[in-house]
Amino acid sequence: MYILRLFVFITLLVSVMTAQTPQFNLMPYPKEIALTGDHFRLTKDFDISIFGIEDTDLQMYASRVLRRLSGRTGLFFPQDYITNASRYDSSDLKIYVERAGKLVINEDESYYLSISSSSVMLKAQTTFGVMRGLETILQMLGSDERGYYLTGARVTDEPRFTWRGLMIDVCRHWMPMDVVKRNIDAMAAVKLNVLHLHLSEDQGFRIESKKYPQLHLLGSDGDYYTQEEIKTIIQYAAARGIRVYPEFDVPGHTTAWFVAFPELASAPGPYKIERNWGVFDPTMNPTIERTYEVLDTLFTEMAALFPDEYFHIGGDENNGKQWNANQDIQKFMKENGIKDNHELQAMFNKRMLKILTRNGKKMIGWDEIFQPELPKDIVIHSWRGVKYLFESARKGYMGILSNGYYIDLIQPAEYHYLNDPAPVDSVLTEEERARILGGEVTSWAELVTPETIDSRIWPRTAAIAERLWSPGTLRDVESMYQRMEYISYQLEELGLLHIKNYDMMLRRLTGYRDFAGLKKFVDILEPVKIYTRHRQGVKYTSYSPYTRVADAARPESMISRRIRKIFEELMAGNTKNAAELKLLLKEVKERQTAVKEILQVSPVLREMQPMSENLTKLAQLGIEAVDIYLSKKKPAKNWHKKVEPVLLEAEKPYGQTEIPFAKTVSEFVHLLIK
């Protein structure tokens, strides 16, 4: 027994060590990969054949991959489109597939990939597995003095979670079709498989209804998807192995509904589209039949439009103020023995469930919809945390996690990456763990426009995609950052603007002058985190300018991250990178000289002058602090009085941006003066 346990321990240790040391710029990293030492050399005659079934979506997907490979290498491959007529036993890449994938949860997406010096073989049970494997092949591309090659390896891969999603809020700021399509392409590249469209909000009702056209005509400012456009999005995603399902948030977040149907509200109108951000009072009246008549008709129409088996009803952030103030609602509650608003919303949810069940749909809602008497095939969408996710799993309910994946909160990739829907060391039983389907990245759009959405979603979402696909033991943060940067550039070929628009926005801020100095400055900064921008003296609305430095700045500065990391190493007693740290801080100081002139001549940039001054002082202080630390001497008498104002000022935000390493420098300095 002891030997068996030792063997199991060693096997587990090896698997953990293997999982934590990725060797290639692959993301998500495969479940198992073994190098063969070979290279498959790409030539101008490279071609692809598909065996097993004839599937148009897969043929087109493989053809696009061939073009992307051609684009990266500059090789003029003779094959145009991959069809049955172009199937050859001698093809360089042979694909074997058993059946077409089905757009349902728990569909097989596994694949096996073999790359030798003479051929490349990709096998999968479903077309979706082939699609996932083709993305891995693209990431295996390398080059040397002899040309381009695919690294020789055997890859056995499958996802850890079946539900790997991205939610796009198209309501608070309208997101046209091209935004959705390019993000679908990026989703496929990192093996995400669910697109959640948030289609109704206080700020807009964003889809055509032929039953109630007044909803989109009065509640959207003219910005909405026609039903034909929705069909196009669904088809576009399906061709990439991605499910699409809708969310219509009820009974709260419904101001835009009431522009067309004020009689559904719990307080008298008139109503107009909300232009501000926050949680608002307007809420549907759950005690009148007219509410259910409209919702039944609309949801029946939308259920027919969206083929996916799931339908999201929202259900979050109903503050209950209109219900409390409505005498008729209070009377209804008293007569029906409903003790509070939670029970009243539970009654509403049950009516929604009946409507959806009748239309062949399974209900999803945010945490607030959870109640024990609901059927076990609903899905709890947790925005409040794993505590609530685990609670619902223990009670027999399926769930998906978004808490920790709110990509609009401008948190670092590391934070998202280490956030796990079902950690390997969690106390859940295997049966309970199986009920956790996966997670969704949520891109809320209060502070996001079509110009900036890509930079807020990517590349950090690639790290979350790996968390949802790859083994739970894969937690090497430094490797993740290295690979994420590489994949970020590859995503550009799909039309994403997360890198390109950065320069464009900075150029505009300078009045179309030379922006090189400004870029060196903004490269160090990050937008303030969470919802802090709403509390810094600027009132944002749906029509505010989202074109300032805070909007252009990347969510995570790699320069600042490196500075912060080396300071943390020093506090842990590791001095090996101290010289690098001093050089980085010196460079930060020099960058402020380069930006000084442009900050003075561009009015929109003047709000950033204090930030530049603070960076100069903080960098100088950081250099002094490192020198003191390395000298192993105490700081000079009263040094702390000199540096304290610098530290306090450096931690202040300006222009809704912050110095990411300011707090770390402060911690380091206070360690010195203890």
Residue 246 belongs to a domain? yes
pLDDT band of residue 369 (cuts 50, 70, 90) is confident
Q: Do 135 and 261 sit in the same domain of this protein?
A: no
Residue 458 belongs to a domain? yes
Q: Is the pLDDT of residue 17 over 60?
A: no
Q: What is the pLDDT of residues 87-111, one digit of tens each?
A: 899 999 999 999 999 999 999 999 9
pLDDT band of residue 630 (cuts 50, 70, 90) is very high
Per-residue HEC secondary structure of 507-531 comes to: HHHCCCCCCHHHHHHHCCCEECCCC
Q: Is the pLDDT of residue 85 over 50?
A: yes
Other CB atoms within a 10 A radius of the CB of residue 236 amount to: 17
Q: What is the CA radius of gyration of the chain?
A: 27
CATH of the domain at 78: 3.30.379.10
User: Comparing 232 with 371, which gets the higher pLDDT?
Assistant: 232
pTM: 0.95
Q: Do 228 and 111 sit in the same domain of this protein?
A: no
Which residue from 437, 442, 441 is spatially nearest to 422, judged by alpha carbons? 437
Residue 147 belongs to a domain? yes
Strands 111-115 and 147-157, bridge-based pairing: antiparallel
Residue 581 belongs to a domain? yes
Query: Distance between CA atoms of 187 and 165, rounded to whole angstroms?
Result: 8
Q: What is the pLDDT of residues 300-339, one digit of tens each?
A: 999 999 999 999 999 999 999 999 999 999 999 999 999 9
State the average pLDDT for the chain. Answer: 94
pLDDT band of residue 594 (cuts 50, 70, 90) is confident
| Amino acid letter, 44 | K
Instruction: For residues 337-350, give the mean pLDDT.
Output: 96
From 431, 461, 494, give the residue that closes a domain: 494
Whole-Å CA distances, 17 to 22, 23, 151, 473, 530: 10, 12, 22, 8, 34
Residue 12 belongs to a domain? no
Instruction: For residues 365-387, give the mean pLDDT.
Output: 88
Token couple for 50: 């598909």
Q: What is the pLDDT of residue 114?
A: 98
Q: Do 196 and 339 sit in the same domain of this protein?
A: yes
Q: Do 550 and 442 sit in the same domain of this protein?
A: no
Expressed as residue numbers, the domain containing 573 is 500-672
Q: Do 116 and 219 sit in the same domain of this protein?
A: no
Instruction: For residues 395-410, give the mean pLDDT.
Output: 96
Q: What is the pLDDT of residue 671?
A: 95
Q: H/E element holding 401?
A: strand 398-401
Query: Distance between CA atoms of 256 and 447, rounded to whole angstroms?
Result: 19
Q: Do 286 and 244 sit in the same domain of this protein?
A: yes
Backbone angles phi, psi at 291, to 5 degrees: -55, -50
Q: Do 152 and 183 sit in the same domain of this protein?
A: no
Q: Is the pLDDT of residue 6 over 60?
A: no
Number of residues assigned to the chain: 674
Residue 528 belongs to a domain? yes
Q: Is the pLDDT of residue 225 over 60?
A: yes
pLDDT band of residue 21 (cuts 50, 70, 90) is low
From 466, 494, 522, give the residue that closes a domain: 494
Annotated active-site residue in 301, 309, 317, 451: 317
Residue holding tokens 């346990």?
5
Q: Do 138 and 205 sit in the same domain of this protein?
A: no
Would residue 568 show up in a list of annotated catalytic residues for this protein? no
Instruction: For residues 440-468, give the mean pLDDT.
Output: 98
Residue 168 belongs to a domain? yes
Which residue from 518, 585, 531, 308 is spatially nearest to 408, judged by alpha carbons? 531
Residue 4 belongs to a domain? no
Backbone angles phi, psi at 184, to 5 degrees: -65, -45
Instruction: For residues 540-551, give the mean pLDDT.
Output: 97
- The DSSP letter of residue 275 is -
From 157, 177, 192, give the residue that closes a domain: 157
Q: Do 153 and 279 sit in the same domain of this protein?
A: no
Q: What is the pLDDT of residues 198-224, one digit of tens each?
A: 999 999 999 999 999 999 999 999 999
Q: Do 543 and 470 sit in the same domain of this protein?
A: no
Q: Do 132 and 172 sit in the same domain of this protein?
A: no
Q: Is the pLDDT of residue 22 over 80?
A: no
Q: Is the pLDDT of residue 433 over 70?
A: yes
Q: What is the pLDDT of residue 123?
A: 98
Q: Do 614 and 504 sit in the same domain of this protein?
A: yes
Is residue 611 a contact partner of residue 623, using CB atoms and an 8 Å limit? no
Largest pairwise CA distance in the chain: 83
Q: What is the pLDDT of residue 23?
A: 74
Q: What is the pLDDT of residue 19?
A: 44
CATH of the domain at 282: 3.20.20.80
Count of domains forming the chain? 3
